[in-house]
Structure 1
Amino acid sequence: MWAMEPGHLIWALLLTQTSWPSLTDGATRVYYLGIQDVQWNYAPKGRNVIMNQTLDNDTVASSFLKSDKNRIGSSYKKTIYKEYRDGSYMDEMVQPAWLGFLGPVLQAEVGDVILIHLKNFATRPYTIHPHGVFYEKDSEGSLYPDGSSGQLKADDSVPPGGSHIYNWTIPEGHAPTDADPACLTWIYHSHVDAPRDIATGLIGPLITCKRGTLDANSPPQRKDVDNDFFLLFSVVDENLSWHIDENIVTYCSDPTSVDKEDEAFQESNRMHAINGFVFGNLPDLSMCTQKRVAWHLFGMGNEVDVHTAYFHGQILTIRGHRTDVAHIFPATFVTAEMVPQEPGTWLISCQVNSHLRDGMQALYKVNSCSMTPPMNQLTGKVRQYFIEAHEILWDYGPMGHDGSTGKNLREPGSGSDKFFQKSSSRIGGTYWKVRFEAFQDETFQEKVQLEENKHLGILGPVIRAEVGDTIQVVFYNRASQPFSIQPHGVFYEKDYEGTVYNDGSSYTGLVAKPFEKVTYRWTVPSHAGPTAQDPACLTWMYFSAADPIRDTNSGLVGPLLVCKTGALGADGKQKGVDKEFFLLFTVLDENKSWYSNANQAAAMLDSRLLSEDVKGFQDSNRMHAINGFLFSNLPSLDMCKGDTVAWHLLGLGTETDVHGVMFQGNTVKLQGMRKSAAMLFPHTFVMAIMQPDNPGMFEIYCQAGSHRESGMKAVYNVSQCPGRQANDHQRYQASRIYYIMAEEVEWDYCPDRSWELEWHNQSEKDSYGHIFLSNQNGLLGSRYKKAVFREYTDGTFKIPQPRTGPEEHLGILGPLLRGEVGDIITVVFKNNASRPYSVHAHGVLESSTGWPLAAAPGEVLTYQWNIPERSGPGPNDSACVSWIYYSAVDPMKDMYSGLIGPLTICRKGTLEPYGGRNDMDREFALLFLIFDENQSWYLEENVATYGPQESGRVNLQDEAFLESNKMHAINGKLYSNLRGLTMYQGERVAWYMLAMGQDIDLHTVHFHAESFLYRNGESYRADVVDLFPGTFEVVEMVASNPGTWLMHCHVSDHVHAGMETLFTVLSQRERVSTITITKEIGKATILRDIGEDNVRMLGMQIPVKNIEMLASVLIVMSVILLLIALALSGVVWYQHRQRKLRRNRRSILDDSFKLLSLKQ
């Protein structure tokens, strides 16, 4: 019989101190939801509302919305959630029209219980799975092999006609933080096959609020805002819908003519929608000036679902920061707060070029509901700018060579020749463009020319203002097309808006015709300026928006700076900053320029050759530029060691314009957090602060491999300037040595397919993973030769460092290297592979300048990394920040071959002597990367080894072959083959989330059943972390929910391709059982296992890292026992005193009676 000994009782008491979900003490909120099939029209008004055009007059809108013999049109069968009044499901609750096909809004406060009575009226199994709340296995609503069975699986697939009750709670561990808004934005959706279920229509909004936020009405209303709006930005892919075949039969006039694999047909079914409406058909977004509005914004979908939601005419606050755009990705949830100021009908649009073109736009109306006009006191200056649109002949590579390598830009095979080789079918690197240029006055005779502005390149002049100022821009259009100026980050009345759209009034945008002058007036009231959490100046952008796509690709864009009062000096420059640089990262698509035809004519191209290679010609015109320069041709990025440098970074373009801006050689701070990269998306504005301490010539480049290879890089120069005193007081001490070998192995991305096949109940051939895992029909399967970093015990490289439990999860990654500020990390590297490799780290100060030396096969090299303060956490970071190390001989090919590992740098005093953190119980490092084996050094060898016997039969350029070699992996494993993500309930867990790769490496990582905290100046609650190439995030979690749970990338294609795994939270009882069983049956083993990392205490072996927690709990328990003893002693004393008083009273009474008897 199992019995708990006294020591184990203490351990159990210790474990009970850990984080259990707190008992609910709030309301029980009951919802009756039905899953129903409906007919949905994406454009019920039958026209492009934004441009006020019929479909017959709008070729783009008609390509999506007009039905034809092989086109479905605007109407589709969908399946959606509906709300009912009670369990009879007879009385449907009316939802606001703007909610579209979204399910009803579910609301709750911290401490509440949500009961969902779900009934499935549709024709196939569905579920409801929530984000942001606590649930147990019987209420998860997500189908995947998790080891559960019986009643615990009933929630995973509700059959047609079936029902299930889901029980969710909002404990303190899932509550909004102090820095979070009053209500957090989440979603719920079906999760049988999540990508297809969601594309079919099963998604809805959910908010969890701080206590006291909701009133007692039914349905409840928020007390703190006047309007709540919920908007889903998504390219809804109807090709993934369960109803696609039925929709073809119903809406195509000749269904037999439809080719479902035809790309044009598939594109016509990708609806660029907001709440299921396109081209301005979203109705009834109406609000009042001066009234608080909460916008709950979220995304869902695929790799193309990179969205920048732009609110014209108003300013937002998101997580304490001022903005007018929100960046949204699949399963990203944003709560934006607005107090509308300017009345009128305004545009909401996704500023990603292709999404803007294809209809992701809506209108919202701000009404003047009060007779009292708002008081916007403007006490600052009137700042005047005179700007001209000037047509110029622009050279993307004026140096004629690569500024980093010295190679001629037209050298065959250089990579740059694709863009700069001039021929009968190529334009070369020179194009007609148009640029904003600054002049001294309204005569437009004398240009403003400053040496410090040379680096601006194609950018217009910098417009600067402080809070309280008025900006007046006189714009002279000396070009051949109508152009305008549309600003971000400032206020303007409808008369001064530079965007053309149908706003229901007489205004059609303030646009300057050729050779016309117009004047814009913008203001910067206090509610448009930086918040207390913002830096002193905010980076914004202005651009021409007469035709936003063609205007910006033609060159019309410039930077705008809005600062706090007093932040600008008399010269207009930012105080406290030595150098300012403004950099625009974008792929300028000359095919979409107004001057495309002129450029072709000027180049005297051969039309016959063009027709034979249209794609090659178009690719050669997509210029991967920084300020309009390629291949390090950007001039004048010079600074001194110790300078304070402000990098103002701008993004623009289409969905492939996801740029991880990397700073080689030095780090930067973003909102007080240490980074080596800043993420940019279309219409993103970021200010990064650098204090360079590393002299030399370094690159700034886009981390996305294809962008860097196509020329998106520049050089900056850090000099040791005479008389310049740099802050160089960091003292280092040699403290950590790692012995690492590069070795070649056979790597299996998916050694066990059972989980994948059980998940979808499919055969191998029908599985989503078949293309990646099959070795039939010329494919290679799941096994590849790779090179990996592995740790050894010493410099003899004979004994590998064993990967025990804490390291098991690392998979393909090299060892987790750790250091603290002030350390020197020494890496002794042996290259046991068959080609040269190296070890290079992000974030640290390498002792060698430039790229590290490469070790030849068999060679041993030593690398030394110093860890200055700028390598460690910034003031707003967690205790540790994450970086990576990799081989840098050829960074892309080396990485795809497998040579990459995690590096963590912590504040002084954070690490234990054995290396682990003293503030965390577990640490996990996860790399989310699509390993492109087509770019591995070992591709040909892998074809020979794992391909068909006649390797010559393999077409290396075949589309299916190329796709089959792109492994959507977590630490090099697919379909839950990663092991070792195990923790105990109540443990503090640090997750180092890493991403590298290409522009398709957009990963939104969702943890089922748990939430975490992440830092963005403050601590915020989330259950999805956004990762992009070159981003390294740290999130912290207290494991609270026992069970085996799913973790996955929420991008649809990545889910189906296997980017998912399981993590397990073991209960406290399991921990106690493990300890007891180990003691009873393994005493001899335990004695042998005692080492420096374990201590015998209470009859058990306890890890050193847990002693402090155990001791703290024992002290707390001792204090509690002491208090109980004192209380009991007090009770005993009180009882004793009461008995004594009673005896005294009896004695007094007896004496009284005696006296009375004597008197008688």
Structure 2
Amino acid sequence: MVPPGKNYTYVWPVREEYAPTPADANCLTWVYHSHIDAPKDICSGLIGPLLVCKKGILNPYSGARMDVDREFVIMFTLVDENQSWYLDENIQHFCTEPSSVNKDDAVFQRSNKMHALNGFLFGNLPEPQACVGESVSWHLFGMGNEIDIHSIYFYGNTFVSRGHRTDVVNLFPATFLTADMLVENPGRWMITCQVSDHLQAGMLGQYSVDSCKRDAPHTEVHGQHRRYFIAAEKVLWNYAPLGYDRFSGQPLNASGSEASVYFTRGENRIGGTYWKAQYVEYVDATFKQRKRRTEAEAHLGILGPVIRAEVGDTLLVTFANKADRAYSILPHGVFYDKASDAAPNADGFVKPGAHVKPGQTFTYRWTVPKSVSPTAGDPPCLSYLYFSAVDPIKDTSSGLVGPLLVCKKGVLSADGTQKGVDREFHLLFTVFDENLSRYLDENIQKFSWRPFSVDREDKDFVKSNRMHAINGYMYGNQPGLSMCQRDRVSWHLMGMGTDTDMHGVYFQGNTLLLRGAHRDSLALFPHVSTTTFMQPDHAGLFRVFCSTLGHFSKGMNQMYEVGSCGMKDPAEQPYGMMRTFYIAAEEVEWDYAPNKNWEFEKQHLDAGGERHGDIFMNHTENWIGSQYKKVVYREYTNGEFVEIKARPPQEEHLELLGPMIHAEVGDSILIIFKNKAERPYSIWAHGVEAVDSGKQLQVPATKPGEIRTYRWNVPKRSGPGPSDPNCIPWLYYSTVDFVKDMYSGLMGPLITCREGVLNDKGRRSDVDHEFVLLFLVFNENESWYLGDNIKKYLNKDPRDFRPADDFEESNRMHAINGKIFGNLHGLVMNEDSMTNWYLLGLGSEVDIHTVHYHAESFLFKIDTSYREDVYDLFPGTFQTIELFADHPGTWLLHCHVSDHIHAGMETTYTVLRNTDNMVPYSTKPPSRGRSSPATEPPKGPPGQEHLYFFGKQLGPRGAKAALVILFLLGLLLLGLSLALLLRLRSERQRGAYREVQTCALPTEAL
């Protein structure tokens, strides 16, 4: 802390270990900011960019980059002025009646949330300018809170980020990216956040590309001319045409069901059918005959036709507006000039394609030059989407969106399908907000029984119109997701919507190949598209759904079917080793924060700080506090389930999590599971092949007191992919009620490794330490044990309990492995040790976690290795990061989302120095934000035994040497003792006994 009027000089050495990797951009984007109270300091304005470049990139005299023509820095964040240190001053200075201001008023707070680019809104950002043909490096970063999910769209030009060609990147709090762009399209182009709420609130600017008296880069194309005839039409759309939930078998309007909220018509409810707009393909420019969708296209649903092109092609898209509003078509990922620009901004050009009125037609010309081609590390075809941009929010909410593929040369066959691919599927995950549709009034008039009684602002009415859909279908009603065993399947996944549209897409029963990595789930965000591959190996019926908890239960849940198609299931292959685990579900009293000192010391009351942790840790008449009844997985020594298997020191940090299960490719895992709790539970794992998988959608539940066996095989597809590290993480949990079971505490890590990585004890032999971190906001309001906790800790009858307004918030525990405010211990390692960290994400829409390691950087792999110090984690995503610990000390590790910092999602990790000078180990935070060494030495870090030899700490090699020396000295002393005894015996025989004087052992020699 630097007091007002004082100064301090910081020295930040830029060592080789912090340099960009060969695959990284030439300059990495980082930031610096004040860290007294980081959220408040940043909202007050104290933040700036820090660029770290490869050797030789910077001019030694001017410091400017020599590898690019221009570089620009843009921060995208919702600046919350309510969090600023200067809120009171701003009220006094800028409000006309300061005394009348209620700082807790929701409208007042919303007025102070500024959706800004470098502090500017609604196009006021000073325009970055470049010349045609120049290379531009964009340094982009985000900051902020849970709603700071940003999909940054550069109109008019594409770029490469982390080896991937795109025109949209995602930013989150403390996400830093470098995007390299060759600008070749002259004009003024928009830079926007495509998240609907942010776009509407002004998060947009422009950049300018001038000719600068240069010739434009060569963008001519000589491939095919591919023609599409597409109309916008008004249609009646049913989100569940089967009329029932395929998973439960219940009618969608069954009383008390989750689906009834969306599918029950009533006096002031619309139900599940809406007027929408849809892109429809026709056979020619007369727009008289629709092009019939094939069986392979039945899954597309509300989506428009698939537009495909190869590098070198020209797309001629004739658009007829057969609807009743002005619409357009704007594509991602291709090249178009201002004559075919459909963007709605005023840029000085006449753009007839930006506003096609009802009854009119317009032909767009889009080209695919080499400059927009997939990179060498990209899949053969890049997935994009196209949409109407007259009013991007209303138009897409009404239904106007479709898929577009940009492919490498020679990838497409004569009929437009991909070579080397048997089936292609295009899935759009979005919450269609019918409240924002152009047809809301018509839908109220047509489908509600008493239209005039409808209150459009009523919370329940608004909720009933938010349809959590995949291609416009809910609760298993999507047709056409069928394939054959061993088919080569390409999945093209797209996102759209607002800041709640954070989707963790999970494919049950099979794994995906995503940029050389094996996964079974991936994250999607608005206007971001991903291509991934699957080759299913077993016939059966499987789920594909969004694992974001609120979305899963609200209908974003479908089935895909793998048919045998005349093939037999592969014969049961012999597995290398059967690894057996005895695991029980048992109920415990859990304390999220047994030590409250972190929060009390962290908040600097003398600096105006607040005690943000009180609501989570204090036990009052309305708050339960930090202790809750929960249920956890625990490992036992054998099938009698009497003796719990003691956790070794290196697993101390697991805390709430179940045992760490390790297996290699080719192994089989046998789980002997006993339910020692009071209600049914189960155990199910991501990534691995469950025996009988696909034959039943539901995992068999184990009743209280019963024992059941679950078996998982680890085929090659369950292990690390070609570009993965040696071991990758998955998660296991109970699925009887996915939401309640998880929030109640049942989850644990599963680690699958390449053959030969594990030693005879089932531990990794290739790294020094491995750590597992689960970042999750435990919502105790959704736990099975909420009633028990109210009864026990509040001493009230749950049936009669009337909670205070902040009761639910007090039960949302922002935890790392079930601990908050620095109560997670055991993250200790030696200097110069190689560590692997398994980061796990679960939860709901608030579970966006940007995991920040102070003082160290790490490598993570997608297709190759990239350097970061923050990793973005979302529900249903799991990642291994590789951290070489080379900076001794005790350092902060936390989620960088502002609310999560204040709510206690923080802890420390310690790197012990490998010298005679020990680094004191303390799990308490330093006061006043500075490193302050504790006075006591470590008691012995988990995962590594230490020997203190005459006050000196010895590492593994030193300890081994000390043991050898002690053994030799012992032999020497034994020899001396025997010689002495023989001498005494000889003296006795001579009868000349002499008194033996007491002497000291030669400890100086030791």
Per the normalisation by structure 2, the TM-score is: 0.91
Amino acid corresponding to residue 966 of structure 1 in structure 2: R
Percent of matched pairs sharing the same residue:
51
User: Cα offset for 1:371?
Assistant: 3.3
- 1:540 aligns to what? 384
User: Cα offset for 1:611?
Assistant: 3.2
Report whether the alignment pairs 1:502 with 2:502.
no
- 1:311 aligns to what? 154
Report the CA distance shift for 1:1070/1:824 in structure 2 as closer, same or farther (over 3 A).
Answer: farther
Report the CA distance shift for 1:704/1:683 in structure 2 as closer, same or farther (over 3 A).
Answer: same
Counterpart among 674, 678, 687 of residue 843 in structure 1? 687
User: Cα offset for 1:915?
Assistant: 1.6
User: Cα offset for 1:833?
Assistant: 0.7
Report whether the alignment pairs 1:371 with 2:214.
yes
Counterpart among 34, 52, 56 of residue 212 in structure 1? 56
- 1:482 aligns to what? 326
- 1:273 aligns to what? 116
- 2:617 aligns to what? 773
Distance (whole Å) between structure 2 residues aligned to residue 1077 and residue 486 of structure 1: 67
Counterpart among 988, 992, 996 of residue 838 in structure 2? 992
Contact 2:338 2:349 in 1 (8 A): no
- 1:360 aligns to what? 203
Amino acid corresponding to residue 895 of structure 1 in structure 2: M
CA offset digits 1:876-930 (Å, max 9, x no partner)? 1111110000111111111110010001001111111112211110000000000
Report whether the alignment pairs 1:862 with 2:709.
yes
Contact 2:590 2:630 in 1 (8 A): yes
3-state SS, counterpart of residue 298 of structure 1: strand
Report whether the alignment pairs 1:711 with 2:555.
yes
User: Cα offset for 1:469?
Assistant: 0.1
User: Cα offset for 1:370?
Assistant: 4.0
User: Cα offset for 1:256?
Assistant: 1.3
Report the CA distance shift for 1:376/1:1101 in structure 2 as closer, same or farther (over 3 A).
Answer: farther
Contact 1:495 1:510 in 2 (8 A): no
3-state SS, counterpart of residue 915 of structure 2: helix
Distance (whole Å) between structure 1 residues aligned to residue 946 and residue 658 of structure 2: 35
User: Cα offset for 1:215?
Assistant: 0.4
- 1:1017 aligns to what? 863
Matches within 5 A, 1:187-198: 187-198=31-42
Distance (whole Å) between structure 1 residues aligned to residue 638 and residue 445 of structure 2: 66
- 1:645 aligns to what? 489
Report whether the alignment pairs 1:1061 with 2:907.
yes
- 2:745 aligns to what? 898
- 1:829 aligns to what? 673
Matches within 5 A, 1:79-90: none
Contact 2:221 2:314 in 1 (8 A): yes
CA offset digits 1:1055-1076 (Å, max 9, x no partner)? 0000000100000026999888
Contact 1:185 1:205 in 2 (8 A): yes
- 1:79 aligns to what? none
CA offset digits 1:181-227 (Å, max 9, x no partner)? 11000000000000000000000000000010000233x11000011
User: Cα offset for 1:633?
Assistant: 0.5
- 2:878 aligns to what? 1032
- 1:925 aligns to what? 772
Report the CA distance shift for 1:794/1:959 in structure 2 as closer, same or farther (over 3 A).
Answer: same
- 1:914 aligns to what? 761
User: Cα offset for 1:1020?
Assistant: 0.5
Contact 1:228 1:294 in 2 (8 A): yes
Contact 1:778 1:953 in 2 (8 A): no
Report whether the alignment pairs 1:983 with 2:832.
no
Matches within 5 A, 1:640-1039: 640-722=484-566, 724=567, 731-762=574-605, 767-849=611-693, 850=696, 851-949=698-796, 954-956=801-803, 958-1039=804-885
User: Cα offset for 1:318?
Assistant: 0.4
Contact 1:955 1:961 in 2 (8 A): no
Structure 2: tracts of 5 or more residues without a match: 919-936, 966-1006
Report whether the alignment pairs 1:302 with 2:302.
no
Report the CA distance shift for 1:314/1:208 in structure 2 as closer, same or farther (over 3 A).
Answer: same
Counterpart among 258, 262, 272 of residue 419 in structure 1? 262
- 1:549 aligns to what? 393
3-state SS, counterpart of residue 418 of structure 1: helix
User: Cα offset for 1:666?
Assistant: 0.9
Distance (whole Å) between structure 2 residues aligned to residue 448 and residue 1076 of structure 1: 73
CA offset digits 1:164-186 (Å, max 9, x no partner)? 01001111111110111110000
Distance (whole Å) between structure 1 residues aligned to residue 818 and residue 163 of structure 2: 37
Matches within 5 A, 1:199-348: 199-218=43-62, 220-348=63-191
Report whether the alignment pairs 1:1099 with 2:962.
yes
Distance (whole Å) between structure 2 residues aligned to residue 433 and residue 766 of structure 1: 48
Report the CA distance shift for 1:1080/1:162 in structure 2 as closer, same or farther (over 3 A).
Answer: closer
Report the CA distance shift for 1:885/1:600 in structure 2 as closer, same or farther (over 3 A).
Answer: same
Report whether the alignment pairs 1:468 with 2:312.
yes
3-state SS, counterpart of residue 1069 of structure 1: coil
Amino acid corresponding to residue 1098 of structure 1 in structure 2: A
Amino acid corresponding to residue 426 of structure 1 in structure 2: R
CA RMSD after TM alignment: 2.1
Contact 2:310 2:368 in 1 (8 A): yes
Counterpart among 889, 893, 914 of residue 1047 in structure 1? 893
User: Cα offset for 1:801?
Assistant: 1.2
- 1:10 aligns to what? none
Report the CA distance shift for 1:1094/1:946 in structure 2 as closer, same or farther (over 3 A).
Answer: farther
Contact 1:730 1:822 in 2 (8 A): no
User: Cα offset for 1:955?
Assistant: 2.4
Contact 1:298 1:328 in 2 (8 A): yes
User: Cα offset for 1:459?
Assistant: 0.1
Contact 1:778 1:948 in 2 (8 A): no
Distance (whole Å) between structure 2 residues aligned to residue 225 and residue 942 of structure 1: 60
CA offset digits 1:521-560 (Å, max 9, x no partner)? 0000011011100010000000000000000000000000
Distance (whole Å) between structure 2 residues aligned to residue 460 and residue 473 of structure 1: 13
Matches within 5 A, 1:611-626: 611=455, 614-626=458-470
Distance (whole Å) between structure 1 residues aligned to residue 670 and residue 88 of structure 2: 61
User: Cα offset for 1:726?
Assistant: 7.3
Report the CA distance shift for 1:457/1:848 in structure 2 as closer, same or farther (over 3 A).
Answer: same
User: Cα offset for 1:262?
Assistant: 0.7
Distance (whole Å) between structure 2 residues aligned to residue 176 and residue 511 of structure 1: 45
Distance (whole Å) between structure 2 residues aligned to residue 502 and residue 868 of structure 1: 56
Figure out how many residues of one structure are paired with residues of the other and give that number.
935
Report the CA distance shift for 1:885/1:497 in structure 2 as closer, same or farther (over 3 A).
Answer: same
Report whether the alignment pairs 1:631 with 2:475.
yes
Distance (whole Å) between structure 2 residues aligned to residue 374 and residue 765 of structure 1: 55
Contact 2:603 2:609 in 1 (8 A): no
User: Cα offset for 1:379?
Assistant: 1.7
Amino acid corresponding to residue 485 of structure 1 in structure 2: I
- 1:33 aligns to what? none
Amino acid corresponding to residue 56 of structure 2 in structure 1: G
Contact 2:127 2:205 in 1 (8 A): no
Report the CA distance shift for 1:511/1:919 in structure 2 as closer, same or farther (over 3 A).
Answer: same
Report the CA distance shift for 1:892/1:505 in structure 2 as closer, same or farther (over 3 A).
Answer: same
CA offset digits 1:1034-1077 (Å, max 9, x no partner)? 10011011100000000000000000001000000269998885
Distance (whole Å) between structure 2 residues aligned to residue 233 and residue 513 of structure 1: 34
Distance (whole Å) between structure 2 residues aligned to residue 638 and residue 612 of structure 1: 40
Larger helix fraction of residues? 1
User: Cα offset for 1:624?
Assistant: 0.4
User: Cα offset for 1:372?
Assistant: 2.5
- 1:87 aligns to what? none
User: Cα offset for 1:729?
Assistant: 8.5
Distance (whole Å) between structure 1 residues aligned to residue 963 and residue 68 of structure 2: 55
Contact 2:675 2:681 in 1 (8 A): yes
Distance (whole Å) between structure 2 residues aligned to residue 256 and residue 973 of structure 1: 41
3-state SS, counterpart of residue 892 of structure 1: helix
3-state SS, counterpart of residue 779 of structure 1: coil
